Chains A and B, each alone.
Chain A
Amino acid sequence: MPDNPPDAPTPAETNEAGERLDALRTALNRVLFGQQALIDNVVIGLLSRGHLLLEGLPGLGKTELVKGLARTLRLEAKRIQFTPDLLPADVTGSPILEETPEGRRFVFHRGPVFANLVLADEINRASPKTQSSLLEAMQEGRVTVMGETHSLPRPFFVLATQNPIELEGTYPLPEAQLDRFLFKLDIYRNEVPVLEAIVKQREIGVEPDIQPVFERDTLLELTSLARRVYLPDIVANFIARLVDATHPGRSQAAENLKYGASPRAALALAAGARARALLHRRTHASFEDVQAIAQPVLGHRILLDYRAKLDGKSGASVVDDLLVDVPRQDKNLPATLKTPDTHG
């Protein structure tokens, strides 16, 4: 038997983390009805320390989700409504000339980006310059204004939203900037039973009563634990083959793609698989974890060409095809054997 990976969490640690995360999911379920998959992906995103891009129609609970997260985790949350006239300084903050007893001096006034949770609402309505100021903060974890660098608080998460139907007067995020979001999550409308529950249990203008689940430090501990989750070599190999297969000519599914996913996507898949394994109280990631998060990780990172668009394909359908094309194991069954019937 090989030596134990030194950093791998113990089953006890993963069980404890699982209990806490279950509590968080339960609390968030009270905020956002009927969106269990979305909540799971958001929690996975948090554990992976990644930023999330939410796409959905107004009124589906994006802001409520962020506010609920902030309250359950005792995090500072801020919301920025992106508009075409929003300036970078409106996001990062700016130095203000102040009169002090020692004389006049510039004092840096922090912008709304200085928070643990930032809801960047309708990010695609701001100019590219303003978008890039936020994206720089997301990437670097700090803000530099007039030569002075200010670190952002830890943890720092950006949950950006974009509206899929208002295309007039928008500045769609370029692919390079989309790549910085760990997940792109689609928020769908609720079904009738969920709507009925919302009507019964919620009221306009009244915040749901949510108690904090754990502290900010616990969240940081959980993110550290997620990073220690064991990623078997065979799963890492699967991730590498999956990302490679997104490039044109590398698989049948990628036939009509313009560009495939970057190495950052492979890292995102690995981090997401680890986080999902922790969410399911496991000490190791698996093929199933990779397949479960492949859609939100890869969907926005592959660029379709005109033929694929004419064929009615989307990023999601291509990822579905990829998961069929790329086998979990890089070894096939010989032709002289047939797949066993595990149900028999």
Chain B
Amino acid sequence: MNPANTSAQSRLRNTWHRHAQRLARRMNLGFWLAGFLPLLFSAGLAQAFLLLWFRRNEIGSGFSWSLFAVILVVAAGYAGYRQRGRRYSPRDALVYLESRLGLNNALTAADNGVAPWPDPANLPPRTLPAWSWRRIAPWPAWTLAVLVLAASLPVNPAPSTPPPPPVEPIAWGEIESWFQTVEDAEIVENAALDAFREQVDALRRQPPGERYSHSSLEATDALRQRSERALRELRENLEKTARALAAADAFPDGIPSGWEAALREDLTGAITGFEEGLLRIDADLLDQIRELDIQNLSAMPEDDLKNLRECLDAGLAACDAALGDRDSEDNRLLAAFPGPGIGKGPAPAPLSFRDDRALDAVSRRESVPNDDLSRAALGDRVGVGIGDEPDTDRPAYTGPVEPGNMAHPGGGGEAVSRESFTPDEQAVLERYFR
């Protein structure tokens, strides 16, 4: 081979090698992208969620972006590592070129010194594989879209105040309000009230999660009933005392002997109740009640009596306020309408259907009111109606109307067949007896 040919061959060799190296670089970049792009999208998705979380918790997003960059670097390395078996060497690229260009492996042969290098000028210009943007572009586009969305989406910051404590059972507050009312009246010793309050506090000290446990609710209910009973006992004793005092006022010349014993018995019972009850009243007040002589009330100082009356009234009012208005309302109604019956006060409504024409003049319908449905049980009657149709026995046989006439002809044997047999059985019988 002459020097000119050698120089030309060397030039061609360099040209083809440059082509091959460029192709190998593009191929390897293509393989790396094929491995990296899905990882990029996954990392972008994770970063978007992280970004949203940071924004919601009002934490600076600088850390998440740094983490994202580190993840991308690791993903890039991993993609390169995974695609290492597919890497194109310049020699592989030469084979690809000669195969695509239909060169009959001339480049490989030339590279091995067996054949001359072909002239690339005579070959088609577009030998490098083109980028498939349709497969590349969606990955970064979606990643960018997700990140932009995560960065710009309006996010409500998470509430910074601690969550409110769990709601405590209503009964605790109710019990405390009862005793507060009684305490304000200043007729009961504080030690007795504190004993109840201590029990409420004991219930309140248990873990919040335990407040609605079965045992807690049971203890709460027992405490509530006990407190209510104590208040009712207190009210009853105060009322007995007030009644005795009122009777003494009503008979300034002396209580009739028939009533005196009963009033003394009531007063004694009240004092015993004050002494032994769950709510011990104030010691001075109790002494005044003990010293009360209903037969000789004028002997007592006027101021003391007045003070005693005010205390008793305040105590009763406090008990009524604590226990609610139900009792006092019922009492007022009973006092206004002693009954019984319509327009005369509360009375039991007729609870059976009957053709009571006497009621027509008043109303065709009336009901038994039951406002407190929480106390209703299954089977309780909550309303009674009276109408035109309860006369359910009208077609019943009434017996002979007049001598010689037949009230009902009867069905005879046919009735047995008609009323006892099924249609199939009737058909069988008809066929048999035809």
Question: Hey, which bits of chain A sit against chain B, CB under 8 A?
Answer: 1-5, 8, 11, 230, 232, 234-235, 277, 280, 282-289, 328-329, 331-344
Closest A residue, CB atoms, query B134: A338
Closest B residue, CB atoms, query A342: B124
Q: How far is the CA of A341 from the CA of B126 in the complex (A)?
A: 7
Q: Which of B256-305 contact A (CB under 8 A)?
A: none
Q: A287-B105, A329-B95 are in contact. Are A336 and B136 (CB under 8 A)?
A: yes
Q: A2-B111, A234-B95 are in contact. Are A331 and B126 (CB under 8 A)?
A: no
The reply to whether the CB of B222 lies closer than 8 angstroms to some CB of chain A is no
- The answer on a CB contact under 8 Å between A328 and B99 is yes
- The answer on a CB contact under 8 Å between A337 and B112 is no
29 A-B residue pairings within 8 Å (CB atoms): A2-B111, A2-B113, A4-B112, A5-B112, A11-B116, A232-B105, A234-B105, A234-B108, A235-B105, A280-B104, A283-B109, A283-B115, A284-B109, A287-B105, A329-B92, A331-B88, A333-B129, A334-B30, A334-B33, A335-B34, A335-B132, A336-B30, A336-B33, A337-B30, A339-B129, A340-B129, A340-B130, A342-B127, A344-B124
Other than A284-B105, A337-B129, give 10 A-B pairs with Cβ distance below 8 A. Answer: A1-B111, A283-B114, A284-B106, A284-B109, A286-B104, A331-B96, A335-B132, A336-B30, A336-B132, A344-B126
- The answer on a CB contact under 8 Å between B132 and A287 is no
Q: Chain B residues near A277: list those with CB within 8 A.
A: 104
The reply to whether the CB of B229 lies closer than 8 angstroms to some CB of chain A is no
Q: How far is the CA of A284 from the CA of B103 in the complex (A)?
A: 11
The reply to whether the CB of B224 lies closer than 8 angstroms to some CB of chain A is no
Q: How far is the CA of A329 from the CA of B108 in the complex (A)?
A: 12
Q: Chain B residues near A289: list those with CB within 8 A.
A: 104
- The answer on a CB contact under 8 Å between B105 and A3 is no
- The answer on a CB contact under 8 Å between A336 and B86 is no
Q: Which of B63-116 contact A (CB under 8 A)?
A: 86, 88, 92, 95-96, 99-102, 104-106, 108-109, 111-116
- The answer on a CB contact under 8 Å between A340 and B115 is no
- The answer on a CB contact under 8 Å between A286 and B33 is no
- The answer on a CB contact under 8 Å between B31 and A11 is no
Residue among B27, B99, B114, B129 facing the most chain A CB atoms (10 A cut-off): B114
Min CB gap A173→B, angstroms: 34
Min CB gap B102→A, angstroms: 8
Min CB gap B90→A, angstroms: 13
Q: Chain A residues near B131: list those with CB within 8 A.
A: 336-338
Q: Chain A residues near B197: list those with CB within 8 A.
A: none
Q: How far is the CA of A285 from the CA of B112 in the complex (A)?
A: 13
- The answer on a CB contact under 8 Å between B135 and A343 is no
Q: A5-B114, A234-B105, A340-B129 are in contact. Are A334 and B31 (CB under 8 A)?
A: yes
Q: Chain B residues near A286: list those with CB within 8 A.
A: 104-106
- Interface readout for B4-41 with A: 1 if CB under 8 Å, 0 if not? 00000000010000000000001100110110010000
The reply to whether the CB of B128 lies closer than 8 angstroms to some CB of chain A is yes
Q: How far is the CA of A283 from the CA of B112 in the complex (A)?
A: 11
Q: How far is the CA of A286 from the CA of B95 in the complex (A)?
A: 11
- The answer on a CB contact under 8 Å between B130 and A329 is no
Q: How far is the CA of A340 from the CA of B126 in the complex (A)?
A: 6
Q: Chain B residues near A334: list those with CB within 8 A.
A: 27, 30-31, 33-34, 86
Min CB gap B281→A, angstroms: 94
Q: Chain A residues near B115: list those with CB within 8 A.
A: 11, 282-284
Q: Chain B residues near A287: list those with CB within 8 A.
A: 99, 104-105
Q: Chain B residues near A3: list those with CB within 8 A.
A: 113
- The answer on a CB contact under 8 Å between A336 and B111 is no
Q: How far is the CA of A282 from the CA of B116 in the complex (A)?
A: 11
Closest A residue, CB atoms, query B86: A331
Min CB gap B96→A, angstroms: 6
- The answer on a CB contact under 8 Å between B26 and A337 is yes
Q: Chain A residues near B100: list those with CB within 8 A.
A: 339-340, 342
Q: Chain B residues near A342: list those with CB within 8 A.
A: 100-101, 124, 126-127
Min CB gap B105→A, angstroms: 4
Q: Chain A residues near B37: list those with CB within 8 A.
A: 336
Min CB gap A292→B, angstroms: 11
Q: Chain A residues near B96: list those with CB within 8 A.
A: 329, 331
Min CB gap A327→B, angstroms: 9
Q: Which of B154-203 contact A (CB under 8 A)?
A: none
Residue among B100, B104, B111 facing the most chain A CB atoms (10 A cut-off): B104
Q: Which of A230, A340, A341 contacts B109 (CB 8 A)?
A: A230
Q: Which 5 A-B pairs have the closest CB atoms?
A: A334-B30, A284-B109, A286-B104, A286-B105, A4-B113
Min CB gap A277→B, angstroms: 8
Q: How far is the CA of A26 from the CA of B101 in the complex (A)?
A: 30
Q: Which of B117-165 contact A (CB under 8 A)?
A: 124, 126-132, 135-136
Residue among A2, A230, A280, A334 facing the most chain B CB atoms (10 A cut-off): A334
Q: Chain A residues near B128: list those with CB within 8 A.
A: 340
Closest A residue, CB atoms, query B115: A283
Q: How far is the CA of A288 from the CA of B99 in the complex (A)?
A: 9
Closest B residue, CB atoms, query A277: B104
Q: How far is the CA of A332 from the CA of B30 in the complex (A)?
A: 11
Q: Chain B residues near A341: list those with CB within 8 A.
A: 126
Closest B residue, CB atoms, query A4: B113
Residue among B26, B34, B99, B100 facing the most chain A CB atoms (10 A cut-off): B99
- The answer on a CB contact under 8 Å between B130 and A338 is yes
